[in-house]
Amino acid sequence: MLVPMYVMVISAFKPQADIILHPLAISPHNFTLEYLHKALTSEKFNVVRAYGITLLFVVLVNVFCIVLAAPASYVIARGRSKWHLTLLLFFVSGMFIPSQVTVIPVIFVLRVLGLMGTIPGFVLFETALTLPVTIFLFVAYLRTVPRDIDEAAALDGAGKIRAFWSCIFPIMKPAVATIVVLNSIAVWNDFVNPQVVLGTSSGIYTVTTGVYAAVGRYTTDFTLLFPTLLLAIAPAFIFFILMQRKIIGGLVAGATKG
């Protein structure tokens, strides 16, 4: 994993000839920010616009995922019947299905709904992909939350919906933070799904699919490709470094009771 990362980083500041002839060598005398600036101002691919579109996808997927998964997880976690366990297993089973396997069936469904190549269609698909893991972690966390909170809210006259959003959901902050980080990185780094669902005719590029703008049919401009790759992964890498404690804290938050 480190070797491709190393090659990508050093190649983002090297000329085409050095990248081809000496891919592993560092050339301080040829080091320049010209190619990084070229990638930022390229007419083939607008990196800033791609950042905006990808960030929009990240926000929408996280919002829809949490709004849908949190109440469902609450019902499952508080349920005592075998149907609640069956429902949990139904959602968790989605974790064992690779998203690439579902791409072709999803294409048929989105075409029927008229959502193929659109932002709503892609957001719905990505949201569905995030639900299994989200519900699994939310249920595990909610089972550690005392039922006394529900009973206290009921005594104060709050219904189940009000009790959940006003009393239970604020307590789920560690689990929610973990899911936001995991979903954000997954959506940001996704290539196959936006490439297939959005396509090239829609004119909607994410930071990963936009890299294809630097890949020609017969030749590839590496002085544009590698800086674009670096710009694509840099935000996700920095975000992960800053939020890694949230991930660890959220994953272990539901590991014990008490």
Note the pLDDT tens digit of each residue in 116-142.
Answer: 989 999 999 999 999 999 999 999 999
- Is 3 inside a domain boundary? no
Distance of alpha carbon 30 from alpha carbon 14, whole angstroms:
6
Query: How many structural domains comprise the chain?
Result: 1
Q: Is residue 40 part of a domain?
A: no
- Say if 7 falls within a structural domain: no
Q: Which residue has the tokens 């029927």?
A: 112
Each residue's pLDDT tens digit, 163-181 = 888 889 998 988 898 899 8
Separation CA 225–CA 223 (nearest Å): 6
Where in the sequence is the domain holding 202, given as residue range(s)?
Answer: 48-218
For residue 201, pLDDT over 70 is answered with: no
Rounded Cα distance between 61 and 63, Å, is 6
The enclosing domain of 156 has a CATH number of 1.10.3720.10
Contact 127, 61 (CB under 8 A): yes
Look at residues 234, 247, 256 and name the one whose alpha carbon lies nearest to residue 54: 234
pLDDT of residue 167: 87
Taking the mean position of all CA atoms in its chain, how far away is CA 166? 27
pTM of the model: 0.83
